[in-house]
Amino acid sequence: MKEKELRKHTTCSLCRGKIMAGGIPLFYRVTIERFGVRLNAIERQQGLTMMLGGSAVLAAVMGPDEDMTQPLMEPLVLTVCENCSTQCVLPIAVLAERET
């Protein structure tokens, strides 16, 4: 990570403190992405699998290779200091909500 990129990650997304405030020169860069399953695509693939005698491998080769999921939000990149990484327990949805 170059200096310019490191400067973007100097503040912890959870405690809002500087990443080295606890004295440990370590931090996490965490990416959160949320996806929804496209049920109609799953059903089509399952139908093709059943038509081909239950062979999922053959259906994967013969099928359209379409997306089975779709993104529901833009990826979020969080910076988490070492102290928060070991002490803070928040559900992923709460972390995502705090950043949006």
Q: Are residues 19 and 3 in the same domain?
A: yes
Q: How many domains does the chain have?
A: 2
Q: Are residues 68 and 78 in the same domain?
A: no
Owning domain of residue 51: 38-72
Q: Are residues 27 and 5 in the same domain?
A: yes
Q: Tens digits of per-residue pLDDT, 59-72?
A: 999 988 899 999 99
Q: Are residues 20 and 1 in the same domain?
A: yes
Q: Are residues 24 and 50 in the same domain?
A: no
Residues of the chain with pLDDT under 70: none
> What are 1's strand-pairing partners?
none
| E runs forming strands in the chain | 27-32, 35-37, 69-71, 76-81
Q: What is the CA radius of gyration of the chain?
A: 21
- pTM, entire model: 0.75
Q: Are residues 44 and 67 in the same domain?
A: yes
